[in-house]
Amino acid sequence: MSLLEFVSRINPVAASGAVLVLVGVWGVLARPNLFKIAIATSVMETGVNLVILSTGYIRGRTAPILDSAVAGTATDAAGAAARMTDPVPQALVLTAIVIGLAVTALQLSYAVRLRAAGGGSSIESYGDEKW
């Protein structure tokens, strides 16, 4: 497979999602600030969500909603189905987004809570339990 061919096969949404995941992971591993870690986690999850979404995309098709865009009449179910993208990743990503949001909210609250207790915002100052 030539390079050009490979590049043409790349799914741009998946690629950007994967890069975003790596950026997020880097943030989690390299930024000591509690809030930045939480946000980096969120970035990583966003990347994952893009990856999920990318697998449902089919060239030339439209949203899986049965309206005038896909079907003249509602009875032409099979014909309509042939014009729609894969709905499953879209359904999954919805769940994943909300869960990610919930985790981020809780993680941020912990960060607020820890900082309010006077330990500062750097994760390095929360290492009393060790060995």
Partner 1 sequence: MVNPLWLFALSLGAAFLLPLVDRLGRRIALVLVHGVTAAWLAAGLSWLAVLLSGGEAAEFGTAGFRAPLAIVLRVGLAEAAGVTAIALTGLLAAFSLTRSLREAPLGGAMALLMALMGLSGIVLTRDLFNLFVFLEISAIGTYGLLGFDDRKPALRSAFKYMIAGGLASSLYLIGVIYVYRLADTLNLDIAAAGTALSGPAGTAAVFFLLAALLVELKPFPANGWAVDAYETAHPGISAILSGASATALLLALWKILPLLGPAHLSLVAGSGLATFAAGNLVGARQDRPLRMLGYSSVAQVGLVAAVAALARLGGLGDGGADFAAAVAGGLLLNHLLAKTGLFLLAGAVEDDDARGRLAPLSLAAAGVLSAALVGLPPFPGFWAKWRLVRALADSGLWWILAIVLGGSLLEAFYVFRWLGLRAKGEAGEAPVRLGIRSAGPVLAALLLAAAGALAGIRGPVPDLLLWAPWAAAAILFLLDGTPGWLKGLLSVAAAAAFGAAAWDRLDGFRQFFAVMLLGGGALFSIAALRKGGPRRGLHPLLAAATLALGAILVARTPLEFFFAWETMTAASWLLVLRGRGGEKPALSYIVFGLGGAFLLMAGLAAGGWDGGIAAAGWPGLLVLVGLLVKAGALGVHVWLPGSYAESDDESSGFLSSALSKAPIFALFALALSLGAALPGGPWTSRALGWLGLATALGGALYAVYQEDIKRTLAYSSLGQIGYILLAFAAMDQAGWTTSLYLALNHFLYKSMLFLAVAGVIQRTGTRNMYEMGGLIKKMPVSFLSVLMAIIALSGVPPLSGFGGKWLLYSTLIGKGWYLETAVAFFASAVAFLYLYRLIHSIFLGQPKPSQANVREAPVALVLPQLVLMAVLMAVSVFPRLMLDPILALVGDRFPAAFVFEGTRLRSALGYWDGTLTMIVTGGVFALCLVWMLANLHNPQSVKQFNIVFAAERPLRPETTHYAWRFFEPYRKALGFLTRERAERFWDAFGTGAASVGGALRRLYTGNGQTYALHVVLYVAVLYLLLGVL
Partner 2 sequence: MMRRVLVFLAVAGLAWALLPLALGSGVPEAPGALATAYLTDAPADFGAANIVTAIVVSYRGFDTLGEVAVLFAATAGVGALLTRKRLGLGDAEPEAKPAATEILVTATGLLTGLLVMFGVYIFLHGHLTPGGGFQGGVVIATALLLGLLARPESHLSHGILAAVESLSGAAYVGMGLLGAFLAWGFLDPRALPLGRIGSLVSAGSIPVIYSLIGLKVGAELSGILDALKGDRE
Q: Does 126 bind partner 2 (CB under 8 A)?
A: no
The span of 35-43, 105-113, 123-131 binding partner 2 (CB under 8 A) equals 105-113
Nearest to 104 by CA among 19, 37, 18, 7: 37
Rounded to a whole number, what is the largest CA-CA distance in the chain? 68
Among partner 1, partner 2, none, what binds residue 131 when CB lies within 5 to 8 Å by partner kind?
partner 1
Tokens 């994967």 identify what position?
18
Rounded Cα distance, 115 and 124, in Å: 13
Beta bridge partners of 84: 62
Among partner 1, partner 2, none, what binds residue 76 when CB lies within 5 to 8 Å by partner kind?
none
Tokens 């994760």 identify what position?
123
Contact footprint for partner 1 (CB under 8 A):
21, 24-25, 28-30, 32, 34, 37, 41, 44-45, 47-48, 51-52, 55, 88-89, 92, 95-96, 99, 102-103, 106-107, 110-111, 113-114, 117, 119, 123-124, 126-131
